[in-house]
Chain A
Amino acid sequence: MTQLGFYFNQTRCIGCHTCAVACKDWHDHQEATLNWMQINTIEKGVFPHLFLAFIAVPCYHCEDPSCMAVCPADAISKRAADGIVIVDPDKCLGREGCEKTPCLTACRSKSPQFGPAPDAKMQKCDFCLDRLEEGKQPICVEACPMFALEIYSMENLQQKYGEQKEAEGFRYSKKIRQAAVFTPKPEVFS
């Protein structure tokens, strides 16, 4: 099985949110609660010795996804062909129908999300399956003005960018094995 993964060049990211808004536009997420791509800011230090980094947080399509493990309805699965973690809306019990919505707490990246409607089904980043099927990169990748993102097979990404599994604001877990490769920003203070 090929595992698709996410590459993020943290040294390039200017925190412009273009990837996040492009994602909302492509998937037509008018709701403020839906952010398949999130941007977190890491600020450290005391004036004038500072460190600032941004981290782009899509779904990292873990090899052993914690959301999948806790779902009471078996609504979350991993595609055999590419490892993309998907939700079956017919099986998902919905925001109010599911007693504990354990997927929300299981995922450290807050990737599983619900719209505001009581019967909203869980949804999350799917690496733009519709675009991948047409041979295009996901919209976040195509949108990034800094050419800092890429989505490809983990094998390919590791060959191209090395095997760095962590970055500022992101910790790798051996248990869930997030499918991501980074060029992390070195923690150098101004």
Chain B
Amino acid sequence: MGQTDKDIKIVNTGCCHDCGGRCVLKAHVKDGQVIRIESDTGEDPQIRACMRGRAYRQRLYSPDRLQTPLKRIGEKGEGKFKPISWEEALTEIAAKMHQVKATHGNASILMVASGGNQGMLHGALPVGAMLQGFGGFTRSWGIASYEGAMYASMATYGTIRTGNSREDLLNSKLVIMWGWNPAVTIWDPGTSLMMSRIREKGIRIVAIDPRYSDSAATFADQWIPIRPGTDSAMLIAMAYVILDEQLQDQAFIDLHTVGLDKYKDYLFGKEDGVHKTPQWAETITGVSADVIATLAREYASSKPAALIAGWSPARASFGEQYSRAANVLTAITGNVGVNGGYASGFMRAYSSRETNHKRVIAGKDSEKARSTGNPVEDGAPPRQYALHKLFGGTNPNSARIHNAKVFDAILRGKEGGYPADIKMAYIVASNCLNQHPNTRRGAKALKALEFMVVHEQFMTPTAKFADIVLPVNTFMERNDIAPPWLGSPYYIYLNKAVDSLHASKSDLDICRELSTKLDISPGMFQFAEDDILQGITASRDDIPDYEAMKRDGVVKIKLKEPIVSFKEQIEDPENNVFPTLSGKIEIYCEHLAEMNDPKVPPIPKYMPHEESHDAALSKSYPLQLITSHDKKRAHSTWHNVPWCHDIEPHSVWLNSLDATNRGIVDQGSVDVFNDRGRLRIPAKVTERIMPGVVDIRQGAWYAPDEEGVDHGGCANVLTKDEPSPGGAHPMNSALVQIEPTPEGAGRKK
């Protein structure tokens, strides 16, 4: 059966979950079934899907797909449900929502929404619109992936558009991949290919990572292993060397930055008596002073050089400080706004989403910026530590609950200092129990809810706690548009390939039907899917032809030249200011200074915390846990797809020294634990991780036994739920211990 088979129709669609890409898929459809998948075979640059997109048929046609609405009949979390009709499900949800609203008010309804099943239309958007129409709801803030990096980007540059086109890296003389592993996390399709081309051009690449990651191993000339949570110390010591040896770009600093003197006071001991020398950093980071000083000199003298500060080191307690320190280092070396340089920051490059960077003047427009049309939060003051005078970052509304604190908020409510007493959760495109920190607190919280609705494709650990689960279709079963992820200039039109499987429906259709039972004005729900998608397109001038996009499945936008963020500010500073309060790059951030709180210093600092490598707690829990991304999954999505799952067993990585000390053998069963929880998975004994550090890839599904030991290997059983002031999630700041299980210890004999 060849491709010319007349019965096969090729449908242009695209892969759209919460990974670092949005990729072209071509679904081969025969007799209403997707029988196989190709990816981009069109013009350069091709947007080739990875293993996950290629495996999509096993997700689409999984025997575990939810088929009908389900009503819980067992205990919460037990997973016992009975099928019910849509009519019954939606009637019950509507009745319960009316009751909760009447008894406790709209603020008691919490929406938990992530990017697990999303396009520009489907996913959280219709649910938010519906809940808004119902009189409002409590929502959350703080994106686990990047909140720390975003805060630092806003504080330094006043914007999240700080990236360059990937091909501009070919103009660099040195590329530093700091905590950045695009071989697994994608970071826009084509990034790994570009990294190979950079290497092949002879450009030097340095990787800084506690693990010898796939990216470090494939692209880098030098690998510098570093203790998790200490990246800011190394970056600060690099700044020390550069300034101490007069290697900085003083003309750039004078013209484009504010506050270097205040940073110097910290670096050279005026502030706290400590000189932030490479020797100082060596004891903290585990990286030798020589290596730090050499890299500092190399970075300052290899102009232009690109320091790409990945988000993962910022997924830590005080993770904002790492991102701030990286941003500032790019500025003092004059690597901002020039070809071959890189400003770090949030690193969005191409985007038509936020083209106007307005400075919001304090006290005047900031309320407008916070306004969302959600009655529950309108009028609420800015929350503590929010950069509320700036526009374009995270919404600073204080009625929102940080994602890491959602579980605690459910348990403690207003008495615990939270903005609302939560009675009901409406969860969409989110496996929050698994993916928010502190899973066991999460389980307690979800049990405490009066009512919980989940939109899902599978019976996830989160869905098991729902009162009603509604089966949602996948992108193969509906139309949508996928925007570029972070920096690549294209849009993908996801044409519906097959009809919705079983009794599943799109998020839009579910909300459309439920709204009528909630007696709310139809709003967006009066429009058909296609009308809404046309509307989304019409508001963007980079999609000239909706029908052509739909037909071709992809619009690749040709840029006249590679994007280099801040080029205008650097080339013509008279007429272009940075969208910060000072109009310059803020090494010293006045907005932070006004907060006058040591937890948010106006200059970047190294700030240890209660789960740092050398904290008191390390006596009981001497290993640092990091929870990296897995190539087999996008967070918890694809966990249950055999083609992906079978590639390698889920395991905890640890160095052979740490294994030998504990009597642990490769693939032997071990317990990883701390005061928050315990999980039991195989060990992968490897040289690819530094001693003292262990890695459990986040996203494997929580599967506790009767004693509460997780056999699924859900990393968040061990992570803490105390975010940083700027919102950084602390997923990479957990101390743990490991021991062989009786069974695992037996294996070594």
Name A residues whose Cβ lies closer than 8 Å to a Cβ of B. Answer: 11-18, 20-22, 24-26, 28, 30, 32, 43, 45-48, 50-53, 130-131, 133-134, 136, 139, 142-147, 190
B183 touches A16 (CB 8 A): yes
How many residues of B are in contact with the other chain, CB < 8 A?
Answer: 52
User: B58 contacts which chain A residues (CB < 8 A)?
Assistant: 30
| Residues of B190-215 contacting chain A, CB below 8 A | 190, 192-193, 196, 199-200, 212, 214-215
User: B4 contacts which chain A residues (CB < 8 A)?
Assistant: 134
A22 touches B54 (CB 8 A): yes
B687 touches A46 (CB 8 A): yes
Q: Is B345 an interface residue (CB 8 A)?
A: no
User: A46 contacts which chain B residues (CB < 8 A)?
Assistant: 656, 687
Interface CB pairs A-B, < 8 A, 10? A12-B218, A15-B631, A16-B50, A16-B183, A32-B642, A47-B656, A47-B689, A50-B217, A52-B217, A145-B192
A143 touches B647 (CB 8 A): no
B183 touches A24 (CB 8 A): no
| Residues of B35-68 contacting chain A, CB below 8 A | 35-39, 41, 48-51, 54-55, 57-58
Choose one: B41, B196, B644; the contact of A146 (CB below 8 Å).
B196
User: B225 contacts which chain A residues (CB < 8 A)?
Assistant: 47-48
B214 touches A14 (CB 8 A): yes
Name B residues whose Cβ lies closer than 8 Å to a Cβ of A. Answer: 1-4, 35-39, 41, 48-51, 54-55, 57-58, 183-184, 189-190, 192-193, 196, 199-200, 212, 214-218, 220, 222-223, 225, 631, 642-644, 646-647, 655-657, 686-691
Q: A47-B655, A143-B48, A145-B189 in contact; A18/B196 too (CB < 8 A)?
A: no
Once bound together, how far apart are the Cα atoms of A17 and B50, in whole Å? 8
* Known contacts A32-B646, A143-B54, A190-B216, then 9 further A-B pairs from the complex at CB < 8 Å, ordered by chain A residue: A12-B218, A17-B631, A50-B223, A52-B217, A131-B3, A134-B3, A143-B49, A145-B190, A190-B222
A47 touches B687 (CB 8 A): yes
Choose one: A14, A28, A52, A145; the contact of B48 (CB below 8 Å).
A145
Once bound together, how far apart are the Cα atoms of A145 and B19, in whole Å? 16
A190 touches B647 (CB 8 A): no
A-B pairs with the 7 shortest C-beta distances? Answer: A52-B217, A14-B183, A190-B223, A21-B51, A21-B54, A47-B687, A145-B48
A89 CB to nearest B CB, Å? 16
A21 touches B214 (CB 8 A): no
Choose one: A14, A43, A47; the contact of B215 (CB below 8 Å).
A14
A76 CB to nearest B CB, Å? 23
Choose one: B3, B189, B199, B643; the contact of A21 (CB below 8 Å).
B643
B688 touches A52 (CB 8 A): yes
Once bound together, how far apart are the Cα atoms of A142 and B38, in whole Å? 8
Residue of B nearest to A52 (CB): B217
Residue of A nearest to B223 (CB): A190
Once bound together, how far apart are the Cα atoms of A25 and B61, in whole Å? 13
Once bound together, how far apart are the Cα atoms of A17 and B52, in whole Å? 9
B688 touches A15 (CB 8 A): no
A50 touches B687 (CB 8 A): yes
Choose one: A11, A20, A50; the contact of B51 (CB below 8 Å).
A20
B204 CB to nearest A CB, Å? 14
